[in-house]
Amino acid sequence: MRNIKLTTGANVAIDGDLLTVLETLYKELTAKPNLEYSFEDTSREIQHVIEEMTEEERRQYLSESLFLNFVSYENERLAAYMKKLAKAEAATDATTVEQ
């Protein structure tokens, strides 16, 4: 396992764990006074991390990122379906009570 430095000077372990990188980025960006960080700051820090990685590390983290995003998307779709189903059940229950 190796470490890379963020532009803030913080070390990030590059061990294949995407959540470790995200957590470190979050801590470093939100540590600024009054949470004064912008989209550009965030993008610049992410680009810095990418530039510090080897090609193999980039592939590994891209794969993990796509998987994590797929699971998040899947969960959002399932939550929307469950909400729709609950509304349909509530409407059915309301119709049954009226009769």
Q: How many domains, in total, are found in the chain?
A: 2
The values of phi and psi at residue 4, to 5°, are -125, 160
Tens digit of each residue's pLDDT (9 = 90 or more) over 42-88: 999 999 999 999 999 999 999 999 999 999 999 999 999 999 999 98
Residues 8 and 36 both lie in one domain = yes
Q: Which of 53, 73, 88 is the last residue of a domain?
A: 53
Q: Based on the domain organization, do 73 and 48 belong to the same domain?
A: no
Question: Quick check: 10 and 32 in contact, CB under 8 A?
Answer: no
Residues 5 and 44 in one domain: yes
* In a shared domain, residues 41 and 71: no
| pLDDT per position as a tens digit, 14-54 | 998 999 999 999 999 888 777 788 899 999 999 999 999 99
| Same domain flag for 83 and 66 | yes
**Max Cα distance, the chain (Å):** 68
Residue-number span of the structural domain to which 94 is assigned: 55-99
